[in-house]
Structure 1
Amino acid sequence: MNEHSDADAARALIACLDLTNLNDDCTEADIAALCKRAETPQGRVAAICIWPRFVALARSLAAPELRIATVVNFPHGSDDPERTAKDAAAALSDGADEIDMVIDYRRLADTPGHVERQVRTVKQAVGPKLLKAILETGELATPDLIAQAAQEALAGGADFLKTSTGKTARHASLEAATIMLQAIAAHGGTVGLKASGGIRSFEDARSYRDLVEEFCGTGWAGPEHFRIGASAVLGDFLAVAGGTARATHKATY
């Protein structure tokens, strides 16, 4: 890919970025800084993704056009579905636009159908707002379990499938994303994909975008259907888009 198309690709990836701060020590000052970073010289990111306790603050600080995503049932995935639904509804009331929920991935093997019911319960609370189901694919031991997780989340009404929380040792992988995209295609091809965790560079992110377009067609990987969940990678995107020197990014989320 030539320099010009690299810059264009980097700008397109910025528009698909869920700029994320889910650090345990996140502060109000960090949220204010995140809202500012979201408005980049190369365009606005797709959304910021933050803890629920900061949603109301972010909504008061961010540009009206900036989408705010938050997490529920995070990161363990084992809360009661009704509680998760209430947490999602509360976050939406505070001003969230999108909900990223962790499925109860530990129960996939021994309780078929539980994840489908779990996602459906939360989707009923979320309504027309965007619901991303986090499968935590790095913790699923086999491709069959990844496929089952994807299929149950889709059957429950998820609007996006997301790879990972970024809180475990194993994060996103192209192999897992391929299985998820196969499930999305079998479900009608309208649900989005979010890759998150361990994405450290422009090249990492572009690999996921290219995979999505291989399955779904050129131009499909816009923010309506494709997201990258990351934080420090924004600096690399901006460097590629602006043709400036690139640093080495080591953040995992």
Structure 2
Amino acid sequence: MRDRADDARRLIACLDLTNLNETCTPADIDALVKRAQTPEGDVAAICIWPRFVAQARAILPETIHLATVVNFPAGGEDVEATVRETKQAVADGADEIDLVIAYRRVAADPAFVEAQVRAVKAAAGSARLKAILETGELTDPDLILSASEAALRGGADFLKTSTGKVPVSATPEAARILLQVIANGGGAVGFKPSGGIKTYEDAKLYRDMAEEVCGAGWPTPDRFRLGASGVLTDLLAVAGGDGRGGETSGY
């Protein structure tokens, strides 16, 4: 059984520390970059709006990935606009692209989603592509399954549950569907639950589920990410053996 403090450090190393607040400022980005370099080790990545990518790239250590969002949060159908957005983000220094798929098209036309992901993957080049499925809006397990399979056929490097901008974000039920699709495909694609992850226990639940479905040792930072901002305070408290932080606001 893992030591709790060490376990919390492992989870910190899998965190995509996020600021996608509408009121985010350049000063907030500077603060996020500093916060990402914690006393208990660096987070895996920061995830920010595209307009801040160049600023963050200039000050972010190379050991921390730089993720941004495209087609976010609405999940629209203008593929050409999303391709342009992706190319600009990569040019500005992003090395991970979190794409909101056109999730409203999944029921009637999953081939559209597959083609959308494929086009954005091509535009992303060597950048890692995470497909955000917005599982809380799909609701039907069959639709979540269809979205997952379409994203994988399109070449997504990660399946991600949510934007964190709708009432229902990551849930264990949706997470298990995504993980089973990943496992059935050989386990090479990563998994990112996002939104609503507030505590060490929340983070551990998803990490343990990933290990259960995909195998012992599978959830490394290359294959498992946590999309959150509020959870870091609690993870640091557990890692440091201090009183629990219990931060509850934010992504």
- TM-superposed deviation, 1:113: 0.8
Pairs within 5 Å for 1:230-245: 230-245=228-243
Regions of 4+ moved over 3 Å: none
Pairs within 5 Å for 1:33-72: 33-72=31-70
Q: Tell me the secondary structure at the aligned position of residue 7 of structure 1.
A: helix
Which string of whole-angstrom CA distances, capped at 9 and with x for unpartnered residues, describes residues 96-152 of structure 1? 110000000011112231110000000011122100000000001310000000000
Code of the residue aligned with 2:113 in structure 1: it is V
Write the distance in 2 (CA, Å) between the matches of 1:25 and 1:61. Answer: 21
Write the distance in 1 (CA, Å) between the matches of 2:169 and 2:215. Answer: 25
Write the distance in 2 (CA, Å) between the matches of 1:96 and 1:141. Answer: 31
- TM-superposed deviation, 1:222: 0.9
Pairs within 5 Å for 1:206-225: 206-225=204-223
Code of the residue aligned with 2:140 in structure 1: it is T
Pairs within 5 Å for 1:78-157: 78-157=76-155
% identity of equivalent residues: 61
Code of the residue aligned with 1:143 in structure 2: it is P
Write the distance in 1 (CA, Å) between the matches of 2:127 and 2:33. Answer: 21
- TM-superposed deviation, 1:217: 1.5
Contact 2:95 2:126 in 1 (8 A): no
Contact 1:17 1:227 in 2 (8 A): yes
Contact 1:68 1:97 in 2 (8 A): yes
Write the distance in 2 (CA, Å) between the matches of 1:9 and 1:63. Answer: 24
Write the distance in 2 (CA, Å) between the matches of 1:232 and 1:127. Answer: 31
Q: Which moved more, 1:234-243 or 1:61-70?
A: 61-70
Matched, 1:11 2:5: no
Report the count of equivalent residues. Answer: 251
Write the distance in 1 (CA, Å) between the matches of 2:66 and 2:124. Answer: 14
Q: Tell me the secondary structure at the aligned position of residue 224 of structure 1.
A: coil
TM-score relative to the length of structure 1: 0.97
- TM-superposed deviation, 1:182: 1.1
Q: Tell me the secondary structure at the aligned position of residue 110 of structure 2.
A: coil
Code of the residue aligned with 2:227 in structure 1: it is G
RMSD across aligned C-alpha pairs, in angstroms? 1.0
Q: 1:26 corresponds to which residue?
A: 24
Q: Tell me the secondary structure at the aligned position of residue 113 of structure 1.
A: helix
Write the distance in 1 (CA, Å) between the matches of 2:106 and 2:213. Answer: 26
Write the distance in 1 (CA, Å) between the matches of 2:123 and 2:20. Answer: 23
Write the distance in 1 (CA, Å) between the matches of 2:9 and 2:80. Answer: 39
- TM-superposed deviation, 1:252: 4.7
Code of the residue aligned with 1:75 in structure 2: it is P
Contact 1:164 1:196 in 2 (8 A): yes
Consecutive unaligned residues of structure 2, counting only runs of 5 or more, are none
Consecutive unaligned residues of structure 1, counting only runs of 5 or more, are none
Which string of whole-angstrom CA distances, capped at 9 and with x for unpartnered residues, describes residues 175-199 of structure 1? 1010001111122211000010000
